Amino acid sequence: MVLILALLAAIALIWGLTAIVEKFRLGLSLTQAILYAPLKLIYRISDSRIGIATEATAPVIYVVTHQSRLDPALMLSLLPENTLHILDPYSARSLWLEPWRELARTIAFNAEHVFVSRRLVRVLRGKGRLAVYIPAAVEPDTRSFRLYRAVIRIAMQADARIVPIFIGNANLLPFQIDGKSPSPRRWFPRLSMSVLEPMTAEELVARNGSPATRNAHALFDRMAEARLAAIDPALTVFQAVRDAAERFGTGRIAVEDATGSQLSYRALLGGAHILGKRFSALAEPGEAVGIMLPNTNGAVLTLLGLSSAGRTAALINYTAGPANVSAAVGMAVIRTVVSSRTFVEKAALGDIVHSVEEAGAKLVWLEDLQSGITAMDKLAAALLWRYPLGRQDARKPAVILFTSGTEGLPKAAVLSSRNLIANAMQAEARITITTDDVALNVLPMFHSFGLTAGTILPLVAGMRLFLYPSPLHYKLIPQVAWRLKPTVMFGTDTFLAHYARTASEDDFSSLRFVVAGAEAVKPETRRVWRERFDTAIIEGYGLTEAAPVAAVNTAIHNRDGTVGRLLPGMKMRIEPVEGIAEGGRMFLSGPNVMMGYMSADRPGEIQPLPSGWQDTGDIVKVDREGFITITGRAARFAKIAGEMVPLGAIEMLVQSLWPEESHAVVSVPHAKRGERIVLVTTAAAADPESLRKLGKQAGLAELAVPGDIVKVAEIPVLGSGKTDYRATRELAIRHLAAGSAA
Q: What does the DSSP 8-state code read for residue 173?
A: S
Contacts 24+ apart (CB under 8 A), 172-177: 172/247, 173/67, 173/68, 173/69, 173/70, 175/68, 175/69, 175/70, 176/67, 176/68, 176/69, 177/66, 177/67, 177/68, 177/69, 177/88, 177/90, 177/135, 177/136
Amino acid at 354: H
Half-sphere exposure of 33 (CA within 13 A, CB side): 17
The Cα 716–Cα 695 span in angstroms is 25
Nearest to 626 by CA among 164, 227, 204: 204
Going along 172-261, which residue ranges are E strands?
A: 192-195, 199-200, 253-257
The Cα 204–Cα 298 span in angstroms is 45
How large is the angle between the packed helices 523-533 and 647-657, nearest 10 degrees? 50
The Cα 311–Cα 492 span in angstroms is 30
The Cα 559–Cα 541 span in angstroms is 13
CA angle, corner 443, sides to 499 and 731, nearest 5?
75
Half-sphere exposure of 363 (CA within 13 A, CB side): 19
Nearest to 532 by CA among 555, 493, 490, 501: 501
- Helix, strand, coil shares, percent, the chain, to 5: 40, 25, 35
Going along 205-327, which residue ranges are E strands?
A: 253-257, 262-264, 288-292, 312-315
How large is the angle between the packed helices 265-282 and 375-384, nearest 10 degrees? 120
Whether 670 is catalytic is no
User: Active site residue: 66, 447, 557, 735, which one?
Assistant: 66
Other C-beta atoms lying within 10 Å of the C-beta of residue 635: 12
- Whether the CB-CB separation of 168 and 192 falls below 8 Å is answered with yes
Residues in the chain: 742
The 3-class secondary structure across 514-566, one letter per residue, is EEECCCCCCHHHHHHHHHHHCCEEEEEEECHHHCCEEEECCCCCCCCCCCCEE
- Whether the CB-CB separation of 533 and 508 falls below 8 Å is answered with yes
Known catalytic residues are 66
